[in-house]
Amino acid sequence: MMLKKIPKGRLLIIGGAEDKGDNDSDIEKKNKDFERFEILKELIPERNRKQTIEIITTASQVPDEVENMYKKAFEKLGFKNIDFMSMGNNYDAANPEYIKRINKAHAVLFSGGNQFRLATIMGNTDVLSAIQERYMNDSKFIVAGTSAGAMAITKIMLTDAETNEALLKGDVQLSSGMGFLDGCLIDTHFAKRGRFGRLAEAVVINPTCIGIGLGEDTGMIIKKGREAECTGSGMVVIIDGKYVKHTNIAYAEKDTPVCIQNLRVHILSKGNRYMLDTRKFIPAKKDLKIENEARMELSK
């Protein structure tokens, strides 16, 4: 069996509403681990600050508003080398000038909006191929997506779904994403918008996939296509359907409740890691240190 090539670049998937220095939510006021601009800082080059961050606003119907928002945020961080691409069709996404800019950029960020619009316009285009090429071969390159931009990062993505208290068959619709990450399904604004049910159904329909539910102002940094670490002020919910023993998803009628036995769920906060290939949860280093100190104290 031929092994898949391991990407050298990094992915940064964000649950939406990442801190831009313009508001103070309740979780920011209460959370002792909250760090201003924590997620956006990940996109800024450490050494050569002349390198650019390209923000692709194709998913949004209001690209000018998105552009203004990110300009203000990065100005507060003291970083001005950001540029924007708003491709409205496949023809735009073949623009040689855009490809040149991608090949010089330090990072690319797909903004929020509509993931189906984004994946449809970007799919099988020269610009997307250029981003994929950089991601596979450049260890310093970052591909990021927030909200809809994160949902479209995967090979298969959620395109539309109802949010119901009861998990009803047929709520979820799937289509092809941009293909940077295989074997995963991503949902965003996860806790605030009550999206556990729809991601659970998507995972049960695709049991080989891992569901990643990203909270707001929360992200995962993924290295080598498999080593994921939680960052930001909220939580990431991992839904694993590999060990499901029983579900009625195959024979339940449309719009009737679905049952699932033995669905495995992990909740990650900042510093926790998860291996996407081995489905292994790894505690944060600070947690392991506290646990070891407690064991030593008890053994005295």
Burial class (CB in 10 A: 0-12, 13-18, 19+), 244: middle
Question: What is the 3-state composition of the chain as percent helix, strand, coil, each rounded to the nearest 5?
Answer: 30, 25, 45
| Parts of the chain with a pLDDT under 50 | 1-3
Q: Give the whole-angstrom CA distance, residue 127 versus residue 229.
A: 28
For tokens 């194709």, the residue is 58
Global pTM exceeds 0.85: yes
The structural domains of the chain, ordered by start, are 10-298 (3.40.50.880)
Residue pLDDT, tens place only, 74-93? 999 999 999 999 999 999 99
Cα 295-32-79 angle, rounded to 5 deg? 125
Q: Give the whole-angstrom CA distance, residue 189 versus residue 132.
A: 26
Residue pLDDT, tens place only, 13-63? 999 999 998 866 666 667 878 899 999 999 999 988 889 999 999 999 999
